[in-house]
Amino acid sequence: MRHCFQPVVIPVVLFALSTAASSVGAQESEQWTAAKQIELVKELTGQIDECDAGLKRTPDNIPLLSQRGDCHFFLGHFDQAVADYSRMIELDAEQGPSHWRRGIALFYAGKHGAGAEQFERYHSFDNVDRENGIWRYFCQFKAVGKEQAQKELLRYEKDDREPFPAVYKLFSGELKSEDVMLGLQLAKRTTEQQASCEFYAHLYVGLNAALEGDDELALKHLTEATNNSWPREAGYGPRYMWHVGRLHADLLRKTAEAKSE
């Protein structure tokens, strides 16, 4: 998302991850899922406990609800994340249209119709951001099927940041996954711009592959996205989307393990 949000208290652990990420290489990044997962779960669980205590004192504290919602989402507690994000909107209706985090949480909670509605509201807030259109497509795909979802893709007239114009064509059927990835190598960019483009391309090619039922391809791309250090250093929004890729990769691994038992 373009990440125009309501005020939030960003979980401390995310800053710790950013600092750590800047000092590790690709090989250590690959060890993240196995070696750092326990530490992450412990820190996020502790932050939820702190938020719970704070919300007992001030139950309508929107920043604390925002922080707890994030922590729940990062732990895969999708229903709890939806509840906290929805409570934020109940307390401040002006936050409703821009609350893309709620839409993503609704998708993972299996509430695809409500998720699509959230992203439709976001489109009225920002009609340039194709990332929003992608998530609306994901929700529609689950709710009404691929063919109808493609027919109802949100239309964009203005240019968006890279790589989203090309990525969006993946969902409209104009490009294939390999075309999107090949296009990353054809333009001249700064190192940071290239890292950003590669992260989002791997993330959304992977998520689309999962949606299409190709778990092997999905896991390949989502692992690449998770091992990219750029989103962990770039700011709140990219870090949030890094967690999305990490979570979905974990879900795919668990599914594969269950099938092999």
d(Cα 159, Cα 162) in Å, to the nearest integer? 9
Closest by CA to 82, choosing from 104, 52, 67, 64, is 104
Domain assignment present for 160: yes
The percent of residues in the chain predicted with pLDDT above 90, rounded, is: 62
3-class state of residue 163 by DSSP = coil
Rg (CA), the chain: 18
Q: 62: which 2 tokens? A: 């929107």
Q: Which residues have CB under 8 Å from 85's CB, separation 6+?
A: 65, 66, 69, 99, 101, 102, 105
| Inside any domain, residue 3 | no
Per-residue pLDDT, 256? 87
CA dihedral in degrees (67, 71, 74, 79; nearest 10)?
-100
User: What pLDDT does 1 receive?
Assistant: 62
What confidence category does residue 136 fall into, taking pLDDT thresholds of 50, 70 and 90? very high
d(CA 59, CA 132): 30
Sign of CA dihedral 168, 169, 170, 176: negative
Question: Is there a domain that residue 94 lies in?
Answer: yes
> What domain range is 133 assigned to?
12-260
CATH of the domain at 94: 1.25.40.10
Answer whether residue 1 is part of any domain: no
pLDDT tens figures, 229-253: 899 888 899 999 999 999 999 999 9
Q: Does a structural domain hold residue 214? A: yes
Please give the residue that has the higher pLDDT: either 170 or 13: 170
**Coil vs helix vs strand at 225:** helix
What pLDDT does 213 receive? 95
Q: Distances in Å between the alpha carbon of 55 and those of 14, 60, 88, 89?
A: 21, 7, 13, 16
HSE of 125, CA atoms in CB hemisphere, 13 A:
21
Model-level pTM? 0.87
- Residue 131's Cβ-count burial label (10 Å; 0-12, 13-18, 19+) is buried
pLDDT tens, 197-235? 999 999 999 999 999 999 999 999 999 999 998 998 888
Q: What's the confidence (pLDDT) of residue 32? A: 61
Question: pLDDT for 75-99, tens place per residue?
Answer: 999 999 999 999 999 999 999 999 9
> Is residue 137 included in any domain, yes or no?
yes
135 is a domain residue: yes
- pLDDT tens, residue by residue, 3-62: 443 434 334 344 334 333 333 334 334 446 567 788 989 999 999 999 999 999 999 999
pLDDT, the chain, mean: 86
> For the chain, how many structural domains are there in total?
1
Q: Is residue 2 part of a domain?
A: no
DSSP one-letter string for 60-91: T-HHHHHHHHHHHHHTT-HHHHHHHHHHHHHH
